[in-house]
Structure 1
Amino acid sequence: MRKLFFLVCFLAVFAGVFLMTRAPFPNTPARPATGQQTTMALNDQMITYYAQGDGPRVALMASAGREASDFNELIEELVSAGYRAVAIEAPGINGTSMLEDPSLYNFATHVEAVIKNDKNTRDEGPTFLIGHAFGNRVVRAAAHKYPDLVNGVILIAAGGEKPIEPTAEAALKNIFNPISSFKKRLRDIDYAFFAEGNEIPKYWQRGWHTKTAVLQGKSKTETPETNWLAGGIGPMLVVQADADRIAPKEDTADLLLARYPDRVTVNTISNAGHALLPEQPEAVSRAVLDFLKSYHPTGSDD
């Protein structure tokens, strides 16, 4: 009996130490999203999104395995400038159903459904789409599939065309490993997403949804054709970080500008990595709003 008691105590201590070194786990919620939450039905699926503001619609899709709340600061600026911001949760996050067939075009059906469901706006014209990291693939696919609904796209930390540098790719995958220690996860987040010296905010230390990221990772093989890369036919802004290890400019912004010179504008943000939004929120907001003022005006713009 004494041996059993000591064994139970040892296992309890071991489990406690194990949990302490790994908490918060990657899929711990990041932070609440701003806006009015709506969960809508699409056939047998549910989609959660957050909307606020009254004006031309801007819909937003977050990075791989990340929550819509990553856009909170940008959304505040969009709403203040007279836009209606609609941030859509990816499958597997905060009530949005997982997809059985994770092609980019099926991800894009969620964007279409939300745009058509969101009626609380004084401007029912086409929507501008913003995608961060993996979200840029989804909004490009949506712009290609639904050109009548989409006015143009803004790609923040765009990628998806060239292979990721091996060390950065390994760090990206390790972030979603639930048995990785918290210290190691922080090192991987820092390397994969943040420019040297930039602080990782608390909400970026958590909010990494493993099942969602795995599902999104399958989209490349589930979407063999590459027409989505064009991002439709409208204007495109590429917000490029100068220290992006996952999507460096020679693999992203440079390619898009060379391929579509009449449609693409590139705005390079200094001292930023793949995360970009939490690193340089004011610079990102300025780039986005300046572009929207030209191509998706609120009606009150000079």
Structure 2
Amino acid sequence: MRRHAGEKIVPGVNVAVLANDAIGNFVAATPLLQLLKTESKAASVHFWCGTRVAEFRHAPELFDLFLPLHGSSPAELLGLIAEHTGSYDWIINLESTAHSKAIAGLLSGELTFVSGPCVGPGGRGELSFPDDPQGELWADRRWVAEDLKERYPFLRSGFIAEIFARGCYFESEIPPYRVPSQPPGQQPPDLLVATSASLPEKLWPREKWAWVLDRVGSAGYTAGLLGAKPKDQKTHWMGGTAEDELVAQGLLIDLRGQYSLPEVVGALGQCRAVLTLDNGILHLAVAARARTVGLYRHGIHRLWAPPSDTLTVLTPGEGREVSEIDPEIVWEAVAHAL
């Protein structure tokens, strides 16, 4: 394997992209996947992701083959690695986990270019990043820093999808999110809401959700709850108890688990507005061009808030928690979006 350090990638190469299968991570990879198709003119793009987003596996505008890096049995994964090792000209790993770094190395042939984190030759240590600004960016642990653009002038934003693309030496405009979409079986409620998240520090108190949703109903709008099936919710997300209580209060129509992921995108594109935490639904909503109000941890918003005119970003301010965000400010933003 060898580091890609800006060498010209000739058309017709075979590329592998490795990414986490959280919905937000999947969506954040789609601008890079588009650039590989349109600018690199890759002969094939294989997307190693995971079972949580397998419903998006048919997306020829993004990739030619979807492979379950995450969620497969060890035997299945070893078989896939054996089948594809040495077949790629360029491997791009968007994850810093030991799992992804090891597999990036295992998939590499002697002349494979590698971008992103990767184990070193023979599985020892880590493959050094290039000695240039892009390599420094890959190695930087402070992607949420306020001065990121000043330290790396080739960045036009601190958005994670742009960081991925610039780390691969793409210089053009970053494409917007693009994900497969299908119409839902029925017209969605006016407001679609997602109250769960992967981390406790992302959550907003049930009482504040209830306060806002009560005003949504009083204004004559309907509201629906998106998310995983309740029995599956605890596996990857937090906030299920609050969801159940909001549904029991009659503040939300329970739509959890009723749509496929492409249908979720379709529903988001048909509703009037979206209110959500920083989670996968937010990124799908932006992809669907829905008017979206997103509640973010301060600082994290610089990395994970996509630059979109349809997204209103609300944070608690420096040094404060998401739980402190004022519901009156949230309602004002939601009312404007509706």
> TM-score, structure 1 length as denominator?
0.32
Relative CO higher for 1 or 2, CA cutoff 8 Å, sep ≥ 6? 1
> TM-score, structure 2 length as denominator?
0.29
